Amino acid sequence: LIIPLVFFTKQLPYCRGNLIHHTYCDQLSVAKLSCGNIKINVVYGLMAAFLIGGFDILCIAISYTMILREVVSLSSTEARRKAFSTCTAHICAIVFSYSPAFFCFFFNRFGSHTVPSSCHIIVANIYLLLPPTMNPIVYGVKTKQIRDCVLRILSGSKNTKSYITYLSGKR
């Protein structure tokens, strides 16, 4: 779905400068440097994003529906609690990944004249940096040993080093 965008962008006439006001290069930013009509780039990019994002969301919704069905049928209350807790962490990771992506996508296509470009650049950087930094945090908070170690470090406990050595298995 993405390869045609490269060809659409390559065929555009370029008569302006080659400076992209962004911290990374994406297809629409390059197309906006053109002095030609980029409507096909915008429409096709929108269609591709909806297909890809829609398919992702559909697959996630179907899989979580199946997972939740199984979790509800568990006989143990403790097992249900643990399963719901794990699902909650997964959903948080998904939300951290998709929220900035959707904002960047829609802002780049519809709000580029109303919101300052510095705001878009900040959110775009968050889009690139937030998911990889939040995944370890979301899953680390769920792991008791990691959570205890972080709390000990933050509280300034004197035996933090020995606790970290204990967790790594090097006694």
- pLDDT, tens digit, 9 for 90 and up, residues 44-56: 988 888 898 889 8
155: tokens are 């509280």
168: tokens are 């790594």
State the pLDDT at residue 164.
56
What are the C-alpha distances in Å from 102 to residues 50, 62, 160? 10, 20, 40
Answer whether 43's CB lies under 8 Å from 28's CB: no
Do the domain assignments include residue 42? Answer: yes
Answer whether 49's CB lies under 8 Å from 105's CB: yes
The Cβ of residue 130 has, within 10 Å, a number of other Cβ atoms equal to 16
Residue with tokens 């697959």, as numbered in its chain: 59
State the pLDDT at residue 171.
47
Do the domain assignments include residue 108? Answer: yes
CA atoms within a 13 Å half-sphere pointing along the CA-CB vector of 30:
14
Do the domain assignments include residue 77? Answer: yes
Do the domain assignments include residue 57? Answer: yes
Q: How many domains does the chain have?
A: 1
State the pLDDT at residue 62.
94
Do the domain assignments include residue 123? Answer: no
- Rounded-to-integer distance, Cα 35 and Cα 53, Å: 30
Q: Structural domain of residue 103, as residue ranges? A: 37-112
Do the domain assignments include residue 16? Answer: no
Q: How far apart are the first and last CA of the chain?
A: 53
State the pLDDT at residue 59.
93
- Rounded-to-integer distance, Cα 125 and Cα 104, Å: 10
Do the domain assignments include residue 65? Answer: yes
Do the domain assignments include residue 85? Answer: yes
pLDDT tens, the chain, 171 aa long: 889 988 998 999 988 788 887 787 778 888 888 899 988 988 898 888 889 888 988 999 999 899 889 888 888 888 888 888 888 878 887 887 787 777 777 776 666 667 777 877 887 888 788 778 877 777 777 777 777 887 888 887 666 555 556 556 654
- pLDDT, tens digit, 9 for 90 and up, residues 64-73: 899 889 888 8
State the pLDDT at residue 13.
92
Q: What is the pTM of this model?
A: 0.65
- Rounded-to-integer distance, Cα 160 and Cα 3, Å: 51
Long-range contacts of 133-136 (CB under 8 A, 24+ apart): 134/92, 134/93, 134/96, 135/93, 135/96
